[in-house]
Structure 1
Amino acid sequence: MSLPTFHLVDAAPQAVAPFSQAAEIDGWVFLTGQMPTWPDDPDKPLPDGIDAQTRRVMDNLIIVLEAVGLSLDNVVQVRAFLTEFDRDYAAMNAAYQSYFEPGSLPARTCVGVTGLAVGALVEIDLVARRPQ
């Protein structure tokens, strides 16, 4: 087994804690959970509502994926975290699903949590795999 590579992606939103946006080992790429913050202005208010926040999170994940030479087509597994699970689950699913081709949905876990960094409604992380 090789040593991991840690990716810091300048184009991605600034990290809100000490972490790399992605870690890679043996073709597996683990993306840190993204928040609905703006890559170009970390002080800009979060988007309003779960639909807009989910889309911002997915766009942030795409920035990181592209920086490491991958796309959503390489995603194997996703975890989503919602602060208002009962209220936001359906709307988050609709926004999330629009990013994937029909029949190409990764495995996924979605859980309700009591809070997220920066007051976000949603955070999503994922695991991708490089083609062999």
Structure 2
Amino acid sequence: MKREAIHTEHAPKAIGTYSQAVRAGATVYLSGQIPLDPATMQLVDDGIEAQVRRVFENLRAVARAAGGDLADIVKLTVYLPDLGHFPVVNEIMAQYFEPPYPARAAVGVAALPMGAAVEMDAILVLPEAPG
């Protein structure tokens, strides 16, 4: 199966040896996004709420570059150094998604790149083209 790298200037550029996303057929694998402002490549530092929103905006930008949107995400993984922030993730996620919500996992981690308070990756399935 052909693989295609997805890239957009509306999300932070990769800070390592990876693509923002890779499309394989109708499935798109979105790399982990931390709350980097794509214009400055600096962490958003206005608290956990702002960081969570920035991550969702970054995921949205990559999903759109792939031809989809957040509504096409079928699996979301949330990484948090402080699981006490999980209620904030839930509250803000409800502003970005509608039922049926994607499957999701939340993972407590020791640390994230650049000292971020949250990271998320996702799997997106693009809608089938009209027949």
Q: Which runs of 5+ in 1 are unaligned?
A: none
1:40-79 matched pairs, under 5 angstroms:
40-43=39-42, 45-79=43-77
Quick one: distance in 2 between partners of 1:47 and 1:95? Answer: 17
1:118 aligns with 2:114: yes
Q: Tell me how large the CA RMSD over aligned residues is.
A: 1.2
Equivalent residue, structure 1, for 2:92: 95
- In structure 2, stretches of 5+ residues that fail to align are none
Query: Any conservation in 1 of the 2:76–2:102 contact (CA below 8 Å)?
Result: yes
4+ residue segments displaced more than 4 Å:
none
What's the counterpart of residue 81 of structure 2?
A: 83
Shift of 1:20: 0.5
C-alpha offsets along residues 81-114 of structure 1, whole Å, 9 cap, x if unaligned? 00111x211112111221012x221000001100
- Give the Cα separation in 2 of the matches to 1:23 and 1:34: 14
- Kept in 1, the 8 Å contact 2:73–2:122? The answer is yes
Alpha-carbon distance between aligned partners in 2 of 1:47 and 1:92, rounded to the nearest angstrom: 16
Give TM-score, length-normalised by structure 2: 0.92
Aligned residues: 128
Contact 2:75 2:102 in 1 (8 A): yes
2:13 and 2:20 in contact (8 A); partners too = no
**Residues 7-18 of structure 1 correspond to what in structure 2 (within 5 A)?**
7-18=6-17
Counterpart AA for 1:13: P
State the partner residue of 2:126: 130
